[in-house]
C-alpha cells in the first residue's frame, strides 16, 4: 500500500515510458500507479509513477537492471495542510 503522505515517484521523459515501466513494475508485484506530475517538478512528461518509499531502493535496482530509462527519483512528503515537498531521493 502506498502512503499518500510520504511516497516516492519516478519521472520519465514520456507518458508511454511511464506506462511501460508501470507494467513491468507491477508484474514484479510492487504496488505503483500513474499520477500527474507534481507542480514542483518540470520533468519531461505529464505523468510520474507513484510508489511506496519502502520499495524505492528495490525498484531502483530493478529499473537499473532492466535498463528502464528514468529521468529521476523523488521523495514526496505531504503536510497536514496538503502542501507537497518534493526532493530528489537520497539513497
What's the CATH code of the domain at 60? 3.30.70
Distance of CA 48 to the CA centre of its chain: 6
Distance CA 68, CA 62 (A): 8
Residue 77 lies in a domain: yes
User: What is the residue range of 30's domain?
Assistant: 6-88
User: How high is the pLDDT of residue 3?
Assistant: 94
Q: What is the pTM of this model?
A: 0.89
pLDDT in tens, 11-63: 998 888 999 999 999 999 999 999 999 888 875 568 999 999 999 999 999 99
pLDDT > 90? residue 79: yes
Burial class (CB in 10 A: 0-12, 13-18, 19+), 30: middle
Residue 5's pLDDT band (cuts 50, 70, 90): very high
Is 28 inside any structural domain?
A: yes
Per the structure, how many domains does the chain have? 1
Q: Which letter, b or e, does each residue of 68-88 get, where b requires 16 or more Cβ atoms within 10 Å of its Cβ? A: bebbebbbbebeeeeeeebee
Q: Is residue 1 part of a domain?
A: no
φ, ψ (nearest 5 deg) of residue 81: -85, 5
Amino acid at each position: 500500500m502506498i502512503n499518500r503522505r510520504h511516497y516516492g515517484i519516478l519521472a520519465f521523459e514520456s507518458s508511454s515510458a511511464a506506462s511501460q515501466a508501470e507494467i513491468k513494475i507491477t508484474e514484479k508485484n510492487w504496488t505503483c500507479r500513474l499520477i500527474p506530475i507534481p507542480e514542483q517538478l518540470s520533468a519531461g512528461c505529464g505523468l510520474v509513477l507513484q510508489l511506496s518509499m519502502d520499495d524505492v531502493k528495490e525498484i531502483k535496482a530493478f529499473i537499473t537492471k532492466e535498463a528502464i530509462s528514468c529521468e529521476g527519483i523523488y521523495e514526496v512528503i505531504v503536510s497536514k495542510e496538503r502542501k507537497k515537498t518534493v526532493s530528489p531521493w537520497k539513497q
